[in-house]
Amino acid sequence: MTDVTPPTFEQLAAIVEDKLGLPPRRIQPDTVLSEVDIDSLSLIEVSLALEKQYGVHLETEDVDTAITARDLHDLVLSASTARP
């Protein structure tokens, strides 16, 4: 198992804000992702940015289960410690 350094919530939120064209600090832990004009491809773009910047690989079907931004960050944390 290889640990990678995962992004903090603020770092993750900044990636989501960048990909969705949202103002800084728009994404909070309780933000419901479907309520910030996210389309079906935006979360894939977020996943790819996480993979490049932090080496964290998220499965597409797992990303779809995230309701809030906190859910997404939890997925990132668990993917960071469960990497083969």
Partner 1 sequence: MCGLGAWLPPTVVTNDDLARRLDTSDEWIRTRTGIRARHVASPGMPTSHLAAEAGARALESAGVHDVDMVVLATTTPDRPCPATAPVVATRLGLTGRPAFDVSAVCTGFLYALATGAGMITSGAVETVLVVGSEVYSTILDPADRSSSVIFGDGAGAVVLRAGHRSEDGAVGRSELGSDGSLADLITVRAGGSEQRSSGAPALPADRYFSMWGKEVFAHAVTRMAEATRAALAGAGWHAADLDRLIGHQANVRILHALGEYLDIPRERLVIHLDQIGNTAAASIPLALAYAQSTGELAPGARVALTAFGGGATWGATTLTWPALKTV
Q: Which of 60, 55, 51, 58 is nearest to 78 (CA)?
A: 58
C-beta of 36 vs 48, nearer to partner 1: 48
CA 27 to chain centre: 11
Give the x/- contact pattern for partner 1 in 32-61, rule: CB under 8 A: -------xxx--xx-xxx-xx-------x-
Radius of gyration from C-alpha coordinates of the chain: 12
Separation between Cα atoms, residue 53 and residue 36, nearest integer Å: 23
Minimum CB separation of residue 69 from partner 1 in Å reads: 19
Q: Which residue number, 30 or 35, has a Cβ lying nearer to partner 1? A: 35
* Residue with smaller CB distance to partner 1, 45 or 74: 45
CA–CA gap between residue 77 and residue 26 (Å, rounded): 21
- Which residues are at the interface with partner 1 (CB under 8 A)? 39-41, 44-45, 47-49, 51-52, 60, 64
